[in-house]
Structure 1
Amino acid sequence: MLKKISTRQLRIGMHIHEVCGSWLDHPFWRSSFTLTTREQIHQLARVDEVIIDTRKGLDIERPPTDTAFMDDVEVELPAQASEVSLPDQSPLPVTRSFHQELAQAGQVIAQSREAMQSLFQDVRMGKAVDAEHCLPLVQDIADSVGRNPGAIVSLARLKTSDDYTFMHSVAVCALMVSLARQLDLGEDDTREAGLAGLVHDLGKALMPPEVLNKPGALTREEFTIMKGHPEAGHRMLVDGRGVGPIPLDVCLHHHEKINGKGYPHGLQGEEISLFARMGAVCDVYDAITSNRPYKAGWDPADSIQKMALWAREGHFDERIFQAFVKSVGIYPTGSLVKLRSGRLGVVVEQGQGSLLAPQVKVFYSTLSQESVPPELLDLSAVDDPIVSRESPATWGLSQLDDLWRTPA
């Protein structure tokens, strides 16, 4: 079967039936051949489209328009997760080890869950929002981020389907504070960014419960309903007390995209404020890495790679996204990776020298196909680098979170 596709969808094993465009635009004198190297794919990128023959080679993995609707996040699933360049720089400094901070971060998370549950309930009952009541919670989260950002950010990612809506706000608060510090914003702006993360989704409390709590992916019509939550939340915050311009702006515009294809106003580029651009990145990362009733959360490292593709397509501000990667890591805590030795490990904490050399707890050998005694490795101190991201589903793993939360 002949099929015209974008050259961005090419992968090794496809059979090229015809290269669209002038032969002067590419180096291939043959009109029909099978892709065998990445270099051929790079050369074909000089043209926009090709025609492939799926009878003689591979087809695309899934249609490029495959779209998932998760509450309020429209996720365009890439046809192929090609490698994208990510920064190799030092992460944020820490003053306390990951496992030392984990216990205190857990207490903050527990308090946050109660506070946000109460706040959402108040909103549903029509009570006015008083942002001043949220400031001590923002400060507790910010203090934990300051001691070790990986601890509370990683714990906030773990949610049940019952508490996703309000715990998502806690996670975005922690991510916003961490990103603000990576961007070297002042303390006042960092606090406002954290508050913005905490209240950015309050409009969901006014959405129809049967849509908000639907145990499945939304239909296009239901997604249209959910797209009303930024304006609903903004109106509610305007009527409340103590909410400044930054949280108001993030609440209204955290679903805008740099390419102008977001909502509710279709803003693009510099029309979107710095803080709303930050909110867009933090919101999507937590949404796609969290478990939902109808979808397991994506692996953190794989999520970063997918978001890098979306940033390149104009969903996010690339400068903001690069700073975000530095704040959470190229391989965030909980990522499954394979080392050059063939061992599988889960990332526990970011290394202090390079984002490419985190601390990893190894537990399985792909060479012997059996478990090995768990061992914590600092990849900056051993000659056993990461060679690939791995999918937990491929290896039948479902308890990775227990590995990184447990001290070696």
Structure 2
Amino acid sequence: MTTKDLGPFEAVRGLRFDAPFPRLLPVRQDFDTTRIDDVAAATVAALEPLRSRVAPGMSVAITVGSRGIHDKREVVRAAGEWLRSVGAEPFVVPAMGSHGGATADGQVQLLANLGMTEESLGMPIHATMETVELERVPGGPAVHLDAHAAKADAILAVNRVKAHTDFSGEVESGLAKIVAIGLGKQRGAEGIHRFGPANLGVWVPQVARRIVQTGKVLGGLAIIENAGDRAARIELVGAEDIGGPVETALLADAKRRMATLPFDDIDVAVVDVMGKNFSGSGMDTNVIGRMMIRGSAEFERPRITNIAVLDVSDASHGNAVGLGLADFVPFRLLEKLDLQAVYINAMTSGLGGPQRAQVPMAMPTDRSTVAAAILTCGRPDLERVTLVRMRNTLDLEQLWVSESLRERVLADPKLEITGDAVPMTFDDDHGHLLPWGYAPTTTGES
């Protein structure tokens, strides 16, 4: 979408809103930052129990999803090197459902944007949207398996285990998901999502187990991240345990380590950038406290009145499918939208797609966007607005918070004020909120 395509939004291009923008304090959250120093060595150590199952010449498909997992490239590369060292012939399969515009080329490009190419991974990437249909789960969805993975002698699942953004259950986002939905490509993902988000916890493990029953799955490498998005654990999960109690225990550990916002109630949240590389829904619903799926319960915390999102990452290729989780956005975000990618993703998600693909109120500039969020947050005394600014919903160690939250920060031993309060600053030319770490000056809006 370009400026010329904004259509009815052109009617509000001349609108300007202003508000008493709060001064912001730089705050650091004290998270558990336990991490693995040598990710490659930890990966090799985790894989050693599979040595007896890998035969010389065996072709092994390694799953790689669409998420921006910090240590994923190193894990996948190390896994490929280990497999070659024991005589196997590994290759990468993009395992990401309909992401990348539901095309093989789009999925390869998405991996490249995450720094994963044949050169960086040290092995071929075999991409297709074709699947082999396996026996349907009784009473449930058809089971689809990526055609290249189906032809391989074996499959090694690799994924981060974490809380899902669409539902809560014993097994959420992790190995079972990448096997069932990732390797299911668009057809498999659509079939599972058709039963609704509330049933993902029912069908994802069952579909994954059906694929495991083919005998092709060697096991899964589970990456558990700390709150700073670094690998804290790399664990081998046996094929028979994918989608079972072992993965449930890993999920509990991942949730314990997960970064969250430190406040229960916030008037305005400003998210600098959303994106598929941060979360499947663009913004992690567990962080912003919004599910936005009809019939699904909302989170107990945090309770954020208005959310302003200012940009979508380049790595998303215009797929801002979680845009409907926001209340206000600037035109510059709309101009990056690839509605085809958004709608394909939303339709594949079934009931979880329509609300999250809706377009929020759009404003000409960042300044008007944040001002609109402040003016409509329901706070009678706008000088007391509580506002939190974050880079994205994945990186939460460093935050900017309004001075009205100072007492709450000082009362929390896990929070530290790291500098002086500064004004929210927008550039003169475009009204953009200045980038993270900006030098405060006094400017107006163009």
Using the size of structure 1 for normalisation, the TM-score is 0.28
Higher relative CO (Cα under 8 Å, sequence separation at least 6) belongs to 2
Using the size of structure 2 for normalisation, the TM-score is 0.26
Q: Which has the higher helix share?
A: 1
